[in-house]
Amino acid sequence: MSTEVRVPTLGESVTEATVATWFKKVGDTVEADEMLCELETDKVTVEVPAPVGGTLGEIVAQEGETVGVDALLATITAGEGKAAAPKEEKKAEAEAPTPTAKDGGGNGEAIDVMVPTLGESVTEATVSTWFKKAGDQVSADEMLCELETDKVSVEVPAPASGTLTEILAAEGETVQAGGKLALMSSGEGAASPAKSEDAPAQDSTAKPSGKDVEDAPSAKKAMAEKGVSRDQVQGSGRDGRVMKEDVAKAGSAPKPAAAPAPAAQAPRAPSPAEDAAREERVRMTRLRQTIARRLKDAQNTAAMLTTYNEVDMTAVMALRNEYKDEFNKKHGVKLGFMSFFTKACCHALNEVPEVNAEIDGTDVVYKNFVHMGIATGTPTGLVVPVIRDADAMSFAAIEKAIAEKGARARDGKLSMAEMQGGTFTISNGGVYGSLMSSPILNPPQSGILGMHKIQDRPMVVNGEIVARPMMYLALSYDHRVVDGKGAVTFLVRVKEALEDPRRLLMDL
């Protein structure tokens, strides 16, 4: 008896998807709810689980094929027997690792170094850096390499002590979750002849130099930006590896006095070779590549325009100072400015619904709810976790959600589901000191609000010049769906609600 695996519902207005990756092959034994494959649509990535346990008998839709909703993807046969054809069986046997001891280049048992679990909905990674080379002796749990995903960096430790006999995935290669990275031997086999002839023996107790240890990619970028050489930085990571924090410390250290300038001589333009020698090329992380692609797509697709206004933060700051201690005591979370801005935006979106809409082909889809995206900076790049149904939440619930999502974002633990489905976004560049900027839309959304630094400025109030805490606001919007009147009205409503928060209580 066989069970059909079909394309699930893909979401509103989505009728087809592309088969991105099969995680199982014909003949594999699968358990109920175990992930079989991944589908990609214009909006989201959809995982397809096994409806029952059994054996994957046939794959109908191959990787790269386009399938419609409810289309047949594969079949599962009850039981655990191999359903593959003879050709598939031979291929599976050739790919499967031999369970018995293997010759790993030494005298001990061969050990596979596998790609670890990469996190929820993450199926592949890029090999960023190998810290060991073939033939090196390694200890159990010593770091072998570093992998990069769209969200986080993952360190791969040695599963046991022994010799690294072969590297199967070189730097820059893409590997699948559960794939094989390298082979180790539990014995103490020597390095390959070519390696041992070229490199002199090193004292195992000597501290590795910076040339032998691959520094963190973020540290390389920071050194290039600050103009700090590798010799000027003391690494605090494993095996003397330079981390981003080490570069910051080195950059803040006092620099030695410059040598006196030589006698005047004719200026000479540096040659391209001299400039190239001082350059450093660092591969973009997968997360940075994704950010770059999405931001450029937004500029290429939307008719993006930005309108500005400013808000007097006196009332919000006074209200916050008056109730922040009592708020924290009752709700267990600090009262910040983001809940005020989130509430003000939800209020304004209710009056100007086109800012909360999106374009789908020749249709405009109006959202009768607010899933608020809160742009969050992390050590690896900008992510936008989504607070669902923010318009129905209290100040305390919003603050708790922002704190929890922000912590998960900084730890690299956000799932794809937590970053999808947003209808409007708030970006706070003020935390970095930005006085004014023009934010870029987060597609397919039609609006994003940019917050900025609060700065005392002279303002005319009742005919007198007084110092007031002012903030510039910027609304970037898609002019294809939002007219100038609607954009300006939205920003004015946000300004009014923040300058007199009582309006939020009275729905004015």
For 81, the 3-state DSSP assignment is coil
Distance of alpha carbon 242 from alpha carbon 237, whole angstroms? 6
Report how far residue 224's alpha carbon sits from residue 157's, in angstroms, rounded to the nearest whole number: 28
d(CA 148, CA 169): 13
Token couple for 259: 């040598």
Q: Which of 347, 389, 483, 507 is catalytic?
A: 483
Is residue 479 part of the annotated active site? The answer reads yes
What residue has token string 């022994």? 162
Query: Which residue of the set 42, 479, 500, 507 is catalytic?
Result: 479
Residue (of 153, 154, 123, 159) closest to 140 by Cα position: 159
3-state secondary structure of 127: strand
Q: Would you mind telling me the total number of residues written for the chain in this entry?
A: 508
State how far the Cα of 483 lies from the Cα of 489, in Å rounded to an integer.
10
Helices within 352-457 (DSSP H only)? 395-410
Lookup: tokens for 33? 């709810």
Q: State how beta strands 424-428 and 447-451 pair.
A: parallel
Place of tokens 């096994």: 50
Read off the tokens for 401: 């959600």
Instruction: Say which residues have a Cβ less than 8 Å from residue 145's Cβ, sequence separation at least 6.
Output: 127, 128, 129, 130, 131, 132, 155, 156, 181, 182
Burial status of residue 137 (CB atoms within 10 A of its CB: 0-12, 13-18, 19 or more): middle
483 is catalytic: yes
Judged by DSSP in three states, 78 sits in coil
Give the pairing type, strands 174-176 and 124-130. Answer: antiparallel
Residues annotated catalytic, as ranges: 479, 483
